[in-house]
Amino acid sequence: MTEPFQIKLFEEDAGEVSPPERGLYLGTSGWSYADWEGTVYEPGTPPAARLSAYVKSFSTVEIDSTFYGTPKRSTVARWRELAPRGFLFAAKFPREITHEKNLVGCKTEAEAFVRTIDGLGDKLGPLLLQLPPDFSSEGSGVLDRFLKDLPGGFRYAVEVRHRSWFDAGLEETLREHGAALTLVDYPGMPRLDEATAPFSYIRWLGNRREFPHGHTGRKRTGPTTSASGATSSTASSGGPGGLRLRQQPLPEPLALDGAAVSRA
């Protein structure tokens, strides 16, 4: 097992990471995994202490648990308390909204989720609207109305997983609402580098058929996605043990490999 390490993207004080208006934030989806012991956490670290250990090594995290339901306000407050100043939490919209109601008739639920997660305050990053694989561009009007009804003043990212969206004016819809097109390496999907918002949201998922569930540390080479106008950097290896950021001068667009990044 390798020792835990601190990824330093910018000059920073001890116990802090750079504020969200500066550059790249790099992290993982979720922070509580038993097989990270010895890499991200010390062996024997209890689940309740894993977030405290995680924030020592990463500057952002995508909260996966919100997909299963809106958390309690007390839970959100606890997350905020445990993270250092400048750390950013991204969060998935609950599946009740995206997968069960397919964005229809769920304005109340969406507002409740956003207002609850807003308890993170200045540690709140993008909110991810991950559409199900069968949600095609026939629902473009539904998506447009849903984005229009969302509370203002937040950063929203939209991930589509049906090929029909890429010939349906998706970029224009997202740009109209200031929402980011989530850039992914989803198998079978084309990759776009359209900037539709003042920030980028990038997810490296990999192909689950290539490795056992939960083990995404396999080294991958070559650019997996790109974002126009972003700071030039590269990363290699997808798991927490192998995650390294090495800054290199690259021509635009930004080439990134192997881990999740949000750019504020």
Q: What CATH number is associated with residue 45? A: 3.20.20.410
- Smallest CA-to-CA distance from 86 within 51, 54, 126, 121 is with 121
- Is there a domain that residue 67 lies in? yes
Q: What is the span of the domain harbouring residue 203? A: 24-263
In a domain, 5, yes or no: no
**Domain membership flag for residue 8:** no
Q: Is residue 4 a part of any domain in this protein? A: no
Total number of domains in the chain:
1
Would you say residue 85 lies in a domain?
A: yes
Q: Phi and psi dihedrals of 181, rounded to 5? A: -80, 115
Question: Would you give per-residue pLDDT tens digits along the chain (264 residues)?
Answer: 444 333 333 334 434 444 455 578 889 999 999 999 988 899 999 999 999 999 998 999 999 999 999 999 999 999 999 999 999 999 999 999 999 999 999 999 999 999 999 999 999 999 999 999 999 999 999 999 999 999 999 999 999 999 898 876 899 999 999 999 998 877 777 776 678 998 889 988 766 566 555 554 444 444 443 433 333 332 333 344 433 333 333 333 333 333 445 555
With respect to residue 16, please indicate whether it lies within any of the assigned structural domains: no
- The three-state DSSP-derived secondary structure of 90-118 is EEECCHHHHHHCCCCCCHHHHHHHHHHHH
Cis bond before residue 253 (omega within 30° of 0):
yes
Note the pTM of the prediction, 2 decimals: 0.77
